[in-house]
Amino acid sequence: MLFNSIPFLLLVIPTLVVYYLPFMRRFQLHVIVVASFIFYAFNNPVLLTLLLASIAINIFTSYGVIYGPPPRRKLYATIGVVMNLGLLIFFKYSPLIGHTFFPKGSSVGEFLVQIPLPIGISFFTFQGISLLVDAYRGKALEDYAALSAGSLAKHALDVAAFKSFFPALVAGPVVKAHEFLPQIRVKTLAGIDRQAAFTALVVGYFLKMVVADNMKDHTFWLAYPYFMEYHSVTLIFLLLGYSVQIFADFAGYSLIAIGLAHLLGYRLPDNFNFPYISTTFSEFWRRWHISLSTFLRDYLYIPLGGSRKGQVNTYRNLMATMVLGGFWHGAAWSYAVWGFFHGLMLAAERLASDLGFAPGKRLPRWVHMLFIFACVTFAWLLFKLPDFIDAVYYLQAIGRNWTGYDINFLLAFFITLFSVPVVLYHAWYLWRRNGERPGMASVRPLLLGAMIFLIIVNSGSGASFIYFQF
């Protein structure tokens, strides 16, 4: 079920009405769970069994970690993490394993290749892992454990609501247990941050429906074999367009999720902080998919040793974290190469810092921004063309198609047109980052009004969110 669809509207409005009825206050978590199950099962009810299995695994293992005998807490946590990863590996990576390690025609290989990818499995699996690790560490869950008073029924309901919370269920943000569980309490209409909810929803729907959904009709040609017959300049514009599209699509989804959570009285973590103004790769990862990058830092990079065990181990840990982060995005080697590239750039920046160099320090900030944006944009090619050989063909086409083909000026015009809002969005941040400017309060309603108008009159054809595939 898409956020930008009539069925979703018909789900969320009754849910909010029932949720805030005075006599339903004791059952608000029940309402969230039921609405979330309907949301997840809408297109493929069979997949609900997987979500239920994942919830059951995390209910019983996390209960053992929080309330079980201390000598067995580590055992429960280990079993839970292994089972979470087992589900993720089986459903997400079996096709890759089948293609890579089994000969064509093998019955086992054919079986593995045909295993479907359940929507959202990467996100709700990571949330389950965070629940177990946070519970084992005791991170910010002491008050929650005291409130639950050891009740398995209450714990089961809390975990079910956390794992299935429909605003963040299928494409994040990746919500950690210590961020969500302490928020569980009775919600009232008076407690809603209406301005934050309204702004997040309007900007999110604008980025998705006006920018990303229109841009996708033009970046469609960034696919094999269509791109083979385009001029190199057009190919570069297509890449720029996809870079804008993937930001608008995923940042839009995240803002909609945050806005919906506000309506239910919950706060989800920010997931994007104007990433295309970054001047270094490390800054980019502090601004792009923040919930994932912090998850990888807290639950992978730091446990591996982080930067505590010498320079060589720091570079190794960076590379391992980013390669695994790449694999998290998809069961294809191109995602691993994408992760390797970002890991290599992060390690190179760390090496330069360790050696006392500040490459290009004298260059203007905008030069750094353009360089990082260009590198990130070319790396997105591996997302759009997960078949690695297609990405190679695309780069070859850029290199050789400078002659013999005409520049598609109409395509370049529309890509530029739908890129303007994202450029202005980042420029707005740069303009106001030093504080509120005179007249800004009066301009904001006008901007939101213009976005609502464009959503109504100029939305693109509906499409799934790009990160649904991950």
Give residue limits of the domains in the chain.
6-191, 194-469
The segment with the largest mean pLDDT, out of 66-70, 100-104, 219-223, is 219-223
**How far is Cα 363 from Cα 52, in angstroms, rounded to an integer?**
54
Name the 3-class secondary structure at 412. Answer: helix
**How far is Cα 62 from Cα 80, in angstroms, rounded to an integer?**
7
> Is 309's pLDDT higher than 80?
no
Instruction: Label residue 440 by pLDDT band (50, 70, 90).
Output: low
- Check residues 235 and 138 and name the one with the higher pLDDT: 235
Distances (CA, A) of 399 to 183, 204, 370, 391, 393: 53, 36, 21, 13, 10
Supply the mean pLDDT for the chain. 89
Please report the pLDDT score of residue 206 as a whole number. 96
**Cβ–Cβ contacts within 10 Å for residue 113, how many?**
16
Percent of the chain scoring above 90 in pLDDT: 62
CB distance 285 to 339 below 8 Å = no
Mean pLDDT of 132-145: 74
13-17, 265-269, 431-435: lowest mean pLDDT where? Answer: 431-435
Please report the pLDDT score of residue 290 as a whole number. 94
> Is 46's pLDDT higher than 70?
yes
Instruction: Label residue 201 by pLDDT band (50, 70, 90).
Output: very high
Mean pLDDT of 401-418: 93
CB distance 177 to 195 below 8 Å = no
User: Which residue carries 């920010």 as its tokens?
Assistant: 270
Nearest to 299 by CA among 466, 407, 424, 174: 174
Distances (CA, A) of 41 to 45, 50, 120, 170: 4, 10, 12, 11
Mean pLDDT of 315-329: 90
> Is 359's pLDDT higher than 60?
no
Query: One-letter amino acid identity for 411?
Result: L
CB distance 115 to 90 below 8 Å = yes
CB distance 455 to 206 below 8 Å = yes
Exposure string for 132-163, b = 16+ CB within 10 A, e = fewer: bbbbbeeeebeebeeebeeeeeebbbbbbbbb
Give the N- to C-terminal CA distance of the chain in Å, as an integer. Answer: 16
**How far is Cα 142 from Cα 240, in angstroms, rounded to an integer?**
47
User: Which residue carries 């929507």 as its tokens?
Assistant: 119
> Is 358's pLDDT higher than 70?
no
pLDDT tens-digit map of 203-240? 999 999 999 999 999 999 998 999 999 999 999 999 99
Instruction: Give the sign of the dihedral formed by CA 7, CA 261, CA 122, CA 320.
Output: positive
Mean pLDDT of 58-85: 92
The predicted model scores a pTM of: 0.92
- Check residues 28 and 67 and name the one with the higher pLDDT: 28
**How far is Cα 125 from Cα 182, in angstroms, rounded to an integer?**
20
Instruction: Label residue 145 by pLDDT band (50, 70, 90).
Output: low
**How far is Cα 391 from Cα 402, in angstroms, rounded to an integer?**
18
> Is 377's pLDDT higher than 80?
yes
Mean pLDDT of 110-119: 82
Query: One-letter amino acid identity for 7?
Result: P
Instruction: Label residue 332 by pLDDT band (50, 70, 90).
Output: confident
**How far is Cα 245 from Cα 417, in angstroms, rounded to an integer?**
12
User: Which residue carries 């089994």 as its tokens?
Assistant: 102
Please report the pLDDT score of residue 141 as a whole number. 65
Nearest to 184 by CA among 221, 228, 121, 140: 140
Catalytic positions: 329
Q: What is the DSSP letter of 350?
A: H
Instruction: Label residue 404 by pLDDT band (50, 70, 90).
Output: confident
C-alpha 438, offset from chain centre: 34
The contacts of residue 467 (CB under 8 Å, 6+ apart) are 171, 172, 249, 250, 253
Cis peptide before 364 (omega within 30 of 0): no
Please report the pLDDT score of residue 308 as a whole number. 81
Q: What is the DSSP letter of 270?
A: P
The contacts of residue 443 (CB under 8 Å, 6+ apart) are none
Name the 3-class secondary structure at 192. Answer: coil
- Check residues 220 and 361 and name the one with the higher pLDDT: 220
Instruction: Label residue 44 by pLDDT band (50, 70, 90).
Output: confident
Distances (CA, A) of 292 to 172, 185, 201, 300: 9, 26, 21, 11
Mean pLDDT of 421-450: 80
